Amino acid sequence: MRLTTKGRYAVTAMLDLSLNYGVGAITLADISERQGISLSYLEQLFARLRKQGLVSSSRGPGGGYRLSRAADTITVLDVISAVDEKVDSTQCEGRQNCHGHEQCLSHELWQSLSDQIRVYLDGITLAQVVSNFEKSRNGEKVIAFDMI
């Protein structure tokens, strides 16, 4: 599995919103500046995130984006899936035709890995990532995520 820039940027932008949850609407220009992500790319990502109900937007002065629900209810998998990122370690993208038109010898191994990655990412909320970030920022050692 290779997580592309699209998935990484979407997670990063959502974490930025999580850090600022409760402050009010956050503009994409602010996220762009803080995270070093192209504004036009963020616009594309947020269109998908809004369509999937993960963020809400408001227009006009003081407008911008905010999480549509609490950060402890949005998982990393929710974000990655919202931007159409695939979490798949198989060569055949799960179609079981990796060896010509048949399943290869290692298909089940890679399928199982994909399943484990999905379970792992579905067990980590944005709030947990932010909490670990803040702990590490304060000099606390962070070893792993506490799974839900």
Give the per-residue pLDDT at 148.
45
Query: Does residue 146 lie within any of the structural domains?
Result: no
Show the tokens assigned to 139.
């000099």
Q: Is the pLDDT of residue 147 over 80?
A: no
**Which residues is 125 bridged to in the sheet?**
75
Model confidence, pTM: 0.85
Choice between 93 and 139, residue whose per-residue pLDDT is larger: 139
Query: Which CATH number covers residue 46?
Result: 1.10.10.10
Tell me, yes or no, whether 147 lies in a domain: no
Residue 22 included in any domain: yes
Query: What is residue 96's predicted lDDT score, i.e. its pLDDT?
Result: 63
Which amino acid is it at 67? L
How many folded domains does the chain comprise? 1
Among 3-7, 38-42, 139-143, the range of highest mean pLDDT: 38-42
pLDDT digits (tens, 9 = 90+) for 22-69: 788 999 999 999 999 999 999 999 999 999 999 999 988 888 999 999
3-state secondary structure of 148: coil
**Would you state the pLDDT for residue 78?**
97
pLDDT value of position 100: 66
CA pair distance 50, 113, nearest whole angstrom: 30
Domain of residue 55, residue span: 5-138
Written as one string, the DSSP assignment of 56-102 is: EEE-STT-EEEESS-GGG-BHHHHHHHTT-----STTTTSS--BTTB
- Has residue 38 been placed in a domain? yes
Whose CA is closest to 41, among 81, 94, 4, 90? 4
Does residue 128 sit within a domain? yes
pLDDT of residue 124: 95
Is residue 40 a part of any domain in this protein? yes
pLDDT tens digit string along 76-130?
999 999 998 887 777 666 666 666 677 778 888 888 888 898 999 999 999 999 9
